[in-house]
Chain A
Amino acid sequence: MPPVLLAKGLEKRYGRTEALSGVDLEVGEGQLVGLLGPNGAGKSTLVKIACGLVRASAGSVEVCGAPAGSPPARRSLGYLAELFRFPSWMSADELLTLHQRLAGSTGGAAERTELLELVGLPHARATRVAAMSKGMQQRLGIAQALVGSPRLLLLDEPTSALDPAGRRVVRGLLEELRRRGTSVLLNSHLLSEVELVCDHVVIVDHGRVVAAGTPDQLRRQGGVEVETATGTRVFEDARREDVPRIVRELVAAGEEIYEVRVVASSLEDVYLEVVD
C-alpha cells in the first residue's frame, strides 16, 4: 500500500522567493505527523501543494498513490486552510451539507451531528457563521475538513484561534482519528501540542527539512543528575540506560542517594537548536 502522503524533492518558487527547496516527507497509513517550523518556513506551501491549490515548481506529491491535485487525490483528503472564511450567511448545518454534497458524502444528518459533536459545537447547528467567534469558526472548519471521512487530513494551524479547552478538544479529536486510522498532517506552532499527539515530527526551515523523527528520538537526553548527601552530582554525557550503573557505583563508593533525575531536552530546545 502506498503511503497516504508522499512528497519527493518538492520545490516551490514564488517569483524569486524560494518557499520549498527539496522537501521529502511521508505520512503513513494512520500516522499523525506534526510539521513544525518558523514563520515563512514553507509549511503552508507544502500543504497547499498537497491539496492541489498550489503547483509545485519541481518534485512530486502523491496522495494515496494519486498525483496531488488530481480528482482521486482530492477525494481522499480533507483540508483546513490557515486563513479561511466561510460564507457568513450560512449556518453550520448548511455549510456541512454543502461540503457533503461536494465531497459526495452520504452521511446525511447523522454525520453532520456527529461532526459538530466531535468538535465541541453540538448546539451550533443553526448558528450562522456570522454569529460565530473565530474559535467556533475554526472548530466548524475542522468539522468541514472531516466531512466524508477522508483518509488524509491536512490541518494548517487548526488551533491558532482556540482557547485552551478548545485545544484539548482538538487533541482528543486527533487521538480519536488515530483510533479510526485516519492519517493527519498537522501544521502547528504549538510544540507541546505536537509533542503530545504526534507519532512523528518534521521540522522545516527555509524550505528544507532540518530534523525529523518521533518526539522521543528528537528529544535528546541531556545527562543524569543525582542528589547525594554531599550535594548534586552531574553526569553530563550519561543517558537513562546509564542510571543503574551510576547508582551502583555511587552506592559502592559509600554515597547516600536521595534522588536521581534523567535530564531530557524538550522538543522546544531541539527546535530552537535546529532552526536559526
Chain B
Amino acid sequence: MTTIILYGLRESLRRKMFAVVLVLTVLFLSLYAWGTHEAFKDTRGFVGVGQGNLNSEQLAGAIVFGLAMFATLFLGAVLAVFLTLNVVRGDAEAGLLQPLVVRPIGRTQLLLARFAGAAGVCVAYVLAVYFASVGITYWAGGWSPDRLVSPGIELAAAIVVVSSLALAGSVFLSPIANGIGTLMVFGAGLMAGLLGEIGHAINSHKLQHISRIAWWFVPFDALYEDALHRLTVNTTGFAKFVLELGPFGGSHRAGTPLLVWSVLYLVFVLAAAVTAFKRRDL
C-alpha cells in the first residue's frame, strides 16, 4: 500500500504539473499580499463615515480573505483533478496500469492507495496556501478569521471530495473527458452556490431552495460555504450582511447533517469507484 502511495506521489512529482502549480501559487500569493496590503491601506480611510458599527478592517479583511479562500479552492480543485484524472483509464490505455494490477496487491488497495496519495498532496497543498493566506492577511491588516483552523480543514475536505470525483470518473472516462467533466461538476457546484446567493439577495426562496438541494449532490460547495461562514462567525451587523453576499460565494452554515453527509458522500464515491474498477476489463 505504501509502495503504491509513494509510486503515485513520485509519478505526480515527475509530471510538470507540480512545477506549474507551484509557480501559479507563488504568483497568486505575491499578488494577494500586494493586493491585501493596498486594500487595508485604502479602507482605513473610511473609518467612522456614518455607519457606527462598520469596522472597515473587519470588512476588508473578510472580503479579501474570501478571495483567498476562493483562489485556494480553485487551485486545489485543479490540482486534485489533475492528480487523479488518469488513474484508471488513462494509465490502462497507456499500458502503465496492467503490470501493477497483476501483482498481488489487488485492485481495491491499488485504487485507494492512489487516492490516498493524491488526497494527501491536495490536503497539504490546500492547508499550506490557506495558512499562508492567513499569515499574509494578518501581516497586511492585522485581521485574522474568527475560526482559524476549521475553515482550512473544511476547504481541504472540499478538495478531497473533488479528487474522489475525478478518481471515480477516471474509471469510466478518458483523462481529457474526465478532467473536463469533473471541473464542470465543480463549476456547477459553485454556480449552485451563487444561485443561492442571488436568491438570498433578491429574497427568492425558490432559488435558495434549489441551492440547498444542490448541496446534497455536490457537498464540496457546502463545505466551502461553511468554511466561509466560519471565517466570520463572531462578526455582526452590516459587515456580516455584506460578507454573506460575498463576491466569491456566499457564506452559509451548512449544518451538521451536511457535514456528516459529506463524509458519507466521499465514502460512497470511493466505494462506487472501487466497485466499477473491480469489474472493469483492462
Instruction: Report which A residues bind B (CB closer than 8 A).
Output: 14, 48, 51-55, 71, 74-75, 77, 79, 81, 83-87, 89, 98-99, 101-104, 141, 144
Contacts and interface: CB of A to CB of B under 8 A. Distances in A.
Given A55-B279, A89-B10, A103 B103 contact: yes
Interface residues of B, number: 21
B15 to A, nearest CB: 9
A75 B95 CA distance: 20
Given A54-B282, A71-B104, A75-B104, A98 B95 contact: no
Contacts of A53: 98, 101-102, 281-282
Residue of A14, A51, A53, A79 with highest tally of chain B CB at under 10 A: A53
Contacts of A71: 104, 106
A87 B96 contact: yes
B interface, over-half SS: helix
A84 B102 contact: no
Nearest to B103: A102
A87 B101 contact: no
A155 to B, nearest CB: 13
12 contacts: A48-B282, A53-B282, A54-B282, A55-B279, A85-B95, A85-B96, A87-B11, A87-B14, A89-B11, A102-B3, A103-B104, A104-B104
Contact of B281 (A54, A77, A79): A54
Nearest to A45: B281
A206 to B, nearest CB: 20
Contacts of B11: 87, 89
B3 A98 contact: yes
A52 B3 CA distance: 21
A74 B99 contact: no
Contacts of B96: 84-87
B95 A83 contact: yes
B106 to A, nearest CB: 6
Nearest first, the 9 closest Cβ-Cβ pairs linking A and B are A102-B103, A89-B14, A85-B95, A84-B95, A54-B281, A53-B282, A101-B3, A51-B102, A79-B102
B104 A84 contact: no
A214 B101 CA distance: 33
B260 interface: no
Contacts of B99: 79, 81, 84, 86, 99, 141, 144
Contacts of A99: 99, 103
Contacts of A101: 3
B94 interface: yes
B7 interface: yes
A48 B95 CA distance: 13
A74 B104 contact: yes
B96 to A, nearest CB: 5
Nearest to A72: B104
A102 B104 contact: yes
B105 interface: yes
A141 B14 CA distance: 21
